[in-house]
Structure formats: C-alpha cells, structure tokens
Structure 1
Amino acid sequence: MSSPGPAPLTPQDEVDRIVRAWSEELPTLDVEPMHVFSRLHRLARHIQDVRRDAFAEHGLAVWQFDVLAALRRAGDPYELTPGRLVTETRVSSGTMTNRIDRLVERGLVARRGSPGDRRIVLVRLTEAGSAAVDAAVTDLVARERALLDALATGGAHQLAALLRTMLEPFAGTPVPDIAEESE
C-alpha cells in the first residue's frame, strides 16, 4: 500500500517566519493567535493606505472624509449638530470645532442656526462637499472591491461574518486610530 505522499506546502509569508521564530525562541508559548492578529495588523495598515490614497485623489484627508461621510449618511438635508458629528466620528468637541472651521473655509460644509432654536448650530453638507464625498466613497469602494477579489466566491461574506463576531465584544467602544493623523 502506497502512502498518499507529503501534504502540499502552504505558502509562507512574513508572518509565518515571525511566528516560527517566536516558536523557536519561546517553545512553550502558544503563538497560534499571532497567525491571525499579525496578519490583521498588517492588513489594517495596508487598508489605511488604500483609504488615504482614495480620499487624497479627491482632495480629502481621512478626517475630512469622515466628517463629510457622516453628513452624507444622515440623509437629506445632510446636516447634523456638531455634537452629533462628535458622536459619529468619535473625536473631541474641540477637535470637531477645528474640523468644521476648516471644512467651512474649503466650502465643503456650511454652518447655520436651527430654525426652531437659534442656539442650536447645524452643520450642512454643501454641493461641493457632497460631490467630493460621493466621488471619494465611490473610489474607495472600487479599491476595496479589488482587495476582496483575492478571496474565493463567498469568502467576503464569510470574512465579514467572522470579523463581526470578533468585533462584538468591542461594540460601543471608541475605535482607536491605527496611526496618528495630521490635520
């Protein structure tokens, strides 16, 4: 009876080499999580670059896109209070004030008093802001689609479900920046 032969070789990447080195240096350490999280960390950094580049193609920084996208997702009339923008983008009120000021200067948003209560300020997406965010998100989705094309049919759905499960324990907590962004 012949043996089935050696198992096919799995492609090796940088993470495999790093994990193997840790396993050799600390043989009693269970390094299995590193196979997942080291790859996720590297992928997150690449995705950050993809997002930054997609937005830059449309004259936007990541933080500018975040504010404009929050307004666009709010639906017609595409306006929110600064407090709601703080909640949506998870930054401090002082940071949001600065961001709004800079977006107003560029003509991407406008401030106005609420018709029902002049003490309430509303931030509204302008036509220029709407055009910029729509173009940027369209470009982003195309770039993200290209990344997902590396997966087998149904792989994106499976991956999304797995990641949703992993994110559940963090629901409602602020999402930290991967890297410091300059404004």
Structure 2
Amino acid sequence: MAEPDSIDRHIAHWSRELPDLDPRTEGIITRLQMLVRRMKRDKESGLLGTGLKYWEFEVLHRLVAAGAPYRVAPTALAEWLDTHPATMTSRLDRLEQAGYIAREHDPGDRRRLLVTLTGLGRERWEAVMDRRGETEDRMLAVLDDGEQEALAALLRKLVAGIEADGPPLMPDWPAAR
C-alpha cells in the first residue's frame, strides 16, 4: 500500500465532522481535483520563459489543432475560445504584432479574413508543448509502465461511463472554417 498523503489527512479531518463520509469516494474525487489543480498550475508555469501569455498559447493551440494550413476565420477562433469577437480582434492584433500570426484575405472570398499561424508562432507553441510534456512525464514518473497503463485504462472506463449518460467530456475539434 502507498504511503499516506495529504488527502488522507483531509479525509481523516472530514470523517470526524461527517461520519457518513465515504473515504474511498472522497479520496478519489479529491485526489483528481487536486491533481487537476496542480497540472493547471504547472501548465501555466510552463509558459514562463516562452514569451507567451496563457490566452496567446490558447489561440496558437487552436490554430495548430485546425490542421494544415493552420488557417482559421477569426469568428471560429472566438467561438472555440468562448471569447467576444471584439476581444478576439484585440488579441489577434497583439499576436500579429508579435509575429505569431498573419491575417490575410480568404482567396475564395476577399471580403473574409483568415488567421494563419506563422513559423514563429509554431515555434513558440512547440516550446510550450515540449515543456508541458516534460512536466507531465515528471509527474507520471512515480508510476511504472504497467501502473500508467492501468491508470489510463481506469480513467478511460470512468470517462466512458460518464459520457454514456451525457455529452462527451472532450468535444471533437471543429473543422477549420
């Protein structure tokens, strides 16, 4: 059995106040919540030294997710990022000034603008992704390959069960528009 952790102390504390508390459920859910919180903090700190802010990375990430030629309408970016179009315009101005994106007219409809990822934007996105990968590898290094496979299978089973009763937790990436 694994050594006790801070969540075990949390459960012991709340078990005194809530005698009907299910320690297994509380342990699973609280550990998942705390791991997500930690991963979010680590992802944000992974931006340090890359010159990118979180929202900048998110725009670049959506452009890469759209696939080659990494070109998307600004309205689609605003939708995907749940951002007001005026806010998106301001953000795109800053990203263009930094050289991470270019805006150009759609060859099929010159009235329409498209946002395109530049080589520099791709380089910055890759730098963040490399750092995130290193952070994730370090986090999972306490588990051997078999334990990582088992954890992945259990989490997949949990997600599939939740999705059976509702929408997907991870929606499909929309096609580039």
1:172, CA displacement in angstroms? 5.8
Given the alignment, which residue of 105, 108, 121 partners 1:113?
105
Q: Structure 2 CA distance, aligned partners of 1:94 and 1:122?
A: 16
1:31, CA displacement in angstroms? 4.2
1:65 corresponds to which letter in structure 2? F
Q: Structure 2 CA distance, aligned partners of 1:99 and 1:86?
A: 10
Given the alignment, which residue of 47, 59, 62 partners 1:67?
59
The sequence identity of aligned pairs, in percent, is 36
1:133, CA displacement in angstroms? 0.8
Unaligned ranges ≥5, structure 1: 1-8, 175-183
**SS of equivalent residue, structure 2 residue 7:** helix
1:124 matches 2:116: yes
Task: Map 1:18-29 onto structure 2 (within 5 A).
Answer: 18-29=10-21
Q: CA RMSD in A?
A: 2.3
- From the superposition, tell whether residues 83 and 156 of structure 1 become closer, same or farther in structure 2 (CA, over 3 Å): farther
Q: Is the 8 Å Cα contact of residues 82 and 96 (structure 1) preserved in structure 2?
A: yes
What does residue 174 of structure 2 align with?
none
1:82, CA displacement in angstroms? 1.6
**SS of equivalent residue, structure 1 residue 111:** strand
1:93 matches 2:85: yes
What does residue 28 of structure 2 align with?
36
- TM-score normalised by structure 2 residue count: 0.80
Given the alignment, which residue of 124, 139, 153 partners 1:147?
139
Q: Mean alpha-carbon deviation: is it higher for 107-116 or for 23-32? A: 23-32
What does residue 181 of structure 1 align with?
none
2:88 corresponds to which letter in structure 1? M
Given the alignment, which residue of 167, 171, 175 partners 2:168?
171
- TM-score normalised by structure 1 residue count: 0.78
- From the superposition, tell whether residues 163 and 79 of structure 1 become closer, same or farther in structure 2 (CA, over 3 Å): same
Give the number of the structure with larger relative contact order, counting CA–CA contacts within 8 Å between residues 6 or more apart.
Answer: 2
**For the pair shown, which has the larger CA radius of gyration, 1 or 2?**
1
Number of equivalenced pairs: 166
Given the alignment, which residue of 85, 97, 102 partners 2:94?
102
1:50 corresponds to which letter in structure 2? D
Given the alignment, which residue of 47, 51, 68 partners 1:76?
68
Unaligned ranges ≥5, structure 2: 172-177
Runs ≥4 residues deviating over 4 A:
none
1:64, CA displacement in angstroms? 1.2
Q: Structure 1 CA distance, aligned partners of 2:120 and 2:35?
A: 32
